Amino acid sequence: MLRLFKKILTTGIVTERVKRRSHDKQGNDDELEQLGIEIKRHIDRKFSGSIAIRAVDAGSCNGCELEIHALNNPYYDIERFGIHFVASPRHADVLLVTGPVSRHMQTALLRTYQATPNPKWVVAVGDCAACGGEFGVSYASCGAVSNVIPVDMVIPGCPPTPVILMKGLLGLLEQ
Amino acid sequence: MNDVNWMDALRQTLAAESIAIESISEVPAVNSGKAAIWRIIDTDWQKLAEQAQTHKLRWSAGWAEQDDDCFIVHALFENQGTYLWTQTLIPLAKPELPSQATVYPAANRSERHTQDMFGIKFSGHPDKRHWTRHKAWGKHDYPLRKDFAVAGQPEHITPPDMDYAFVKSHGAGTYEIPVGPVHAGIIEPGHFRFQAVGELILNLEERLAYTHKGIEKIAEGRTPESLARLAGRVSGDTTVSHAWAACMAMEQAAAVTIPPRAALLRGILAERERVANHLGDLGAICNDVGFSFAQMQFSRLREDWLRTQANIFGHRLLMDCVIPGGVKSDITDADCADIKQGIIQLRNELTDIITALDLNSSLEDRLYTAGLLSTDIAAAYGTLGYVGRASGQDFDVRRDAPYPPYHQVTVKVAFENQGDIASRFWIRYKEIMASMKLIAQFMALLEPGDIAAAWQVPTPGSSGLGIVDGWRGEIVSYVRFTAENSIARFYPRDPSQLNWPALEKLVLNNIVPDFPVCNKSLNGSYSGNDL
């Protein structure tokens, strides 16, 4: 147990801190901090400090899921901005939908959408969700998410990186 | 090696049983292990499987393709690193074949997939239900037949597959829990149907194919570059290995030899992919028993690892780095130094974390003896990768049928035989350590040179089989070209196809709340299975 605590203490906090302005860091970290501040401000104003996201994989290759997962790692720790992932669409403000919508998932996605209380927003994540991507429209795929449910916002990328995901979410909040 | 012996012995047995081998041909050996193609008469298909089993062959993959007026059905077997590729022809007018699933449970879902996609009836198959088809196409339509248009004739809204006949339980106190396809976590969709008594799982049935995207169909007519991109998205976490397997098959068909530097770079990419995924899984397994310390530490290490990949290879998950003929980009000496530094750092961090985990009795309490997969069941289902290796299946393509660059190094394969979640946890840790050594060895072997060979247009009708060891285990990729450098048939067999059925067995007698950790310890790909 002592080793465990030692590791926690020596690791310290790796999360990029939220600061007003940062000139001493570079690249992702700086960008991330600025993003975080803006996102937090929007969430505070529009959603009373908290926004609940339900991620729905409607047929993706799992690439987008890996990067959405990364939002919860200690570097990005998206929850500190009031964004948290919930287990049911009934708890959600936002549906984060990935993948081309496979025809086998079409009804499931529609029902998930219906189960989400109003007001709600739909964010299509990744190139497949945005336009069908590598899979397009076929006997097995409906293509873009907007072919199945109304989409408020698109975050392209194959897959979008965590920073792009955060930027995208900020775009939604600004709408 | 007595690898040739079993093939000769099997040939003699078949002759004794009067099972005729119509023709025998050698496969151009990409993997240094020998391989042969045997063509068998359709009526002997099942008998062949019976004899193959008596000779302890592992059933590896099965697929079909349509020639003009017939179907060619393929089954791939393996023993001691030598592959036996069997084929049979059946007429288009009467597509029926004796099932091999009666002998090999591993062939069960594969044959159902072929049945749904081609309308080939496997007589005597133990499970008559459809598998890949839900309701997106008609009961008597078969998407991979040549007369089926890629657009299909879908309804405006595809109805849910309500009448799939799940196993029912009867009796006082038993109840059913349907889970999915939309799950509570950030994971892929699939349906699980539990029968339980109290908290104890009596039975689990998987219903997959929710992410069926028609990969095999939309591959048709693609160029080699385009197919490599698609193969890299069969399963997003296995992008390097799937692209590699598809490229290996195409290179075999086109008789293209990749430069040594390209092979080494592919090896580095594939091993980096293995480490990245294992790091994620180690954390997730601990997280599913509520041990968030490990989740935070491992996801931090994974993020470091991915950032290095983004810096050096231009993509966090290494997508589209493997291209037909070689790899997309080269690495410099400075990159090699960064990679080495990253390995040293990861090794030091793991020493701390793994020691802390090993001493944690509450973690031990949850992981040991849970989700037990016996050696017998693992063998029967032909389970692969860390799932197989944790349950006594000592097989690794990299060691047993090595392909460049693995023929230049000694691959030490991690092995356990307790078959519980802890085994699958520790095997991942051992594989991370082994992969880091391999990456260092590959970097040491790097000589200046080309990173891609010039592509040659393959002769029409030529085919190839790519077999690589992805992070989940053996991946088999079949490619046939038509004229003009375009793809006639692509079939990728993800290891998940053989690992998923094992989950139905290893959860038995565990409690329902332990299902997530059981599932995570296996971590099958939904997309790679559903295609």
CA distance B271 to chain A (A): 18
Q: Tokens 């074949």 label which residue?
A: B97
pLDDT of residue B180: 81
Q: Which of A99, A135, A139 sits opposite B151 (nearest CB)?
A: A139
Q: Are B454 and B226 in contact (CB under 8 A)?
A: no
Whether B273 and chain A come into contact, CB under 8 Å, resolves to no
Domain containing residue B333: CATH number? 1.10.645.10
| Nearest CA-CA partner of B340 in B371, B308, B364, B310 | B308
CA distance B360 to chain A (A): 7
In a domain, B179, yes or no: no
pLDDT tens digits for A87-108?
Answer: 999 999 999 999 999 999 999 9
CB atoms within 10 A of CB A16: 20
| Helix, strand, or coil (residue B129) | coil
For residue A90, the enclosing domain spans 30-174
CA distance B381 to chain A (A): 24
pLDDT tens digits for B117-150?
Answer: 999 999 999 998 999 999 999 999 999 999 999 9
In a domain, B506, yes or no: yes
CA distance B390 to chain A (A): 24
Q: Which of A3, A4, A139 sits opposite B137 (nearest CB)?
A: A139
Cβ neighbours of A114 in B, within 8 Å: none
Question: Is the ipTM of this structure higher than 0.90?
Answer: yes
Q: Which of A72, A108, A141 sits opposite B182 (nearest CB)?
A: A108
CA dihedral over A88, A94, A100, A103, signed as positive or negative: positive
What letter would DSSP give residue A93?
S
pLDDT tens digits for B395-418?
Answer: 999 999 899 999 999 999 999 889
Q: Give burial (CB, 10 Å; 0-12/13-18/19+) of B226.
A: middle
Where does the pLDDT of residue A133 fall: very low under 50, low under 70, confident under 90, or very high at 90 and above? very high
Nearest CA in chain B to A90: B184
In a domain, B148, yes or no: no
Q: Which of A55, A61, A112 sits opposite B234 (nearest CB)?
A: A61
Boundary-marking domain end, from B77, B92, B123: B123
pLDDT of residue B28: 61
In a domain, A3, yes or no: no
Co-location of B226 and B119 in the same domain: no
What letter would DSSP give residue A141?
B
Whether A105 and chain B come into contact, CB under 8 Å, resolves to yes
Read off the tokens for B4: 């040739």
Whether A58 and chain B come into contact, CB under 8 Å, resolves to yes
| Nearest CA-CA partner of B232 in A144, A109, A127, A163 | A127
In a domain, B427, yes or no: yes
Q: Are A128 and A168 in contact (CB under 8 A)?
A: no
pLDDT at A24 over 50: no
Rounded Cα–Cα distance for residues B346 and B436 (Å): 9
| Nearest CA-CA partner of A86 in B523, B183, B303, B188 | B183
Whether B334 and chain A come into contact, CB under 8 Å, resolves to no
pLDDT of residue B33: 55
Cβ of B299 within 8 Å of Cβ of A58? The answer is no
CB atoms within 10 A of CB B175: 11
In a domain, B137, yes or no: no
Cβ neighbours of B360 in A, within 8 Å: 1, 4
Q: Are B193 and B513 in contact (CB under 8 A)?
A: no
Boundary-marking domain end, from B72, B106, B123: B123
Rounded Cα–Cα distance for residues B272 and B309 (Å): 8
Q: Which of A11, A63, A140 sits opposite B136 (nearest CB)?
A: A140
Co-location of B237 and B111 in the same domain: no
pLDDT at A12 over 80: yes
Q: Which of B214, B317, B526 sits opposite A140 (nearest CB)?
A: B214
Where does the pLDDT of residue A74 fall: very low under 50, low under 70, confident under 90, or very high at 90 and above? very high
Domain containing residue B88: CATH number? 3.30.460.80
Cβ neighbours of A68 in B, within 8 Å: 186
Co-location of B322 and B432 in the same domain: yes
pLDDT at A16 over 80: no
Q: Are B176 and B195 in contact (CB under 8 A)?
A: yes
Whether B526 and chain A come into contact, CB under 8 Å, resolves to yes
Domain count of the fold of chain A: 1
Domain containing residue A61: CATH number? 3.40.50.12280
In a domain, B361, yes or no: yes
Cβ of B213 within 8 Å of Cβ of A88? The answer is no
pLDDT of residue B483: 82
Q: Which of B148, B233, B299 sits opposite A74 (nearest CB)?
A: B299
Co-location of B297 and B445 in the same domain: yes
pLDDT per residue as tens, chain B (531 positions): 455 688 888 888 888 888 878 777 776 655 555 678 888 998 999 999 999 999 999 999 999 999 988 999 999 999 988 899 999 999 999 999 999 999 999 999 999 999 999 999 999 999 989 999 999 999 999 999 999 999 989 999 999 988 899 998 888 899 999 998 998 889 999 999 999 999 999 999 999 999 999 999 999 999 999 999 999 999 999 999 999 999 999 999 999 999 999 999 999 999 999 999 999 999 999 999 989 999 999 999 999 999 999 999 999 999 999 999 999 999 999 999 999 999 999 999 999 999 988 888 888 899 999 999 999 999 999 999 999 999 999 999 999 989 999 999 999 999 988 999 999 999 999 999 999 999 999 999 999 999 999 999 999 989 999 999 999 999 999 999 998 899 999 999 999 999 999 999 999 999 999 999 999 999 999 999 999
Whether B316 and chain A come into contact, CB under 8 Å, resolves to yes
CB pairs under 8 A between A and B: 180
For the sheet with B35-40, list strands across it. Answer: B21-26, B35-40, B82-91, B70-79, B58-66
Q: Which of A58, A73, A139 sits opposite B150 (nearest CB)?
A: A139
Cβ neighbours of A69 in B, within 8 Å: 186, 280, 299
- Half-sphere exposure in the Cβ direction for A31 (13 Å, CA): 10
Whether B221 and chain A come into contact, CB under 8 Å, resolves to no
SS (H, E, C) B41-71: CHHHHHHHHHHHHHCCCEEEEEEEEECCCEE
- Which of residues A42 and A70 earns the better pLDDT score? A70
Rounded Cα–Cα distance for residues B90 and B120 (Å): 9
In a domain, A168, yes or no: yes
Cβ of A108 within 8 Å of Cβ of B210? The answer is yes
pLDDT of residue B360: 86
pLDDT of residue B34: 60
What percent of chain A has a predicted confidence (pLDDT) above 70?
88
Whether A146 and chain B come into contact, CB under 8 Å, resolves to no
Rounded Cα–Cα distance for residues B383 and B380 (Å): 8
Beta-bridge partner residues of B38: B24, B86
In a domain, B414, yes or no: yes
Region of residue A156 (phi > 0: left; psi between -120 and 50: alpha; otherwise: beta): beta
pLDDT of residue A20: 40
Cβ of A59 within 8 Å of Cβ of B230? The answer is no
Co-location of B232 and B107 in the same domain: no
Cβ neighbours of A100 in B, within 8 Å: 213
Domain count of the fold of chain B: 2
For residue B69, the enclosing domain spans 3-123
Whether B190 and chain A come into contact, CB under 8 Å, resolves to no
CA distance A119 to chain B (A): 21
CA distance B281 to chain A (A): 11
pLDDT at A45 over 80: no
pLDDT tens digits for B320-376?
Answer: 999 999 999 999 999 999 999 999 999 999 999 999 888 888 888 999 999 999 999
Cβ of A140 within 8 Å of Cβ of B152? The answer is yes
Boundary-marking domain end, from B88, B103, B123: B123
Whether B525 and chain A come into contact, CB under 8 Å, resolves to yes
Where does the pLDDT of residue A21 fall: very low under 50, low under 70, confident under 90, or very high at 90 and above? very low
Cβ of A138 within 8 Å of Cβ of B214? The answer is yes
pLDDT at A137 over 50: yes
Q: Which residues contact B531 (CB under 8 A, 6 or more apart)?
A: B113, B132, B212, B213, B214, B215, B216, B234, B492
pLDDT tens digits for A50-61?
Answer: 889 999 999 999
Nearest CA in chain B to A148: B157
Whether A98 and chain B come into contact, CB under 8 Å, resolves to no
What percent of chain A has a predicted confidence (pLDDT) above 90?
55
CA distance A174 to chain B (A): 25
pLDDT of residue B32: 52
CA distance from start to end of chain B: 36
pLDDT of residue B81: 86
Whether A137 and chain B come into contact, CB under 8 Å, resolves to yes
In a domain, A5, yes or no: no
Cβ neighbours of A137 in B, within 8 Å: 151
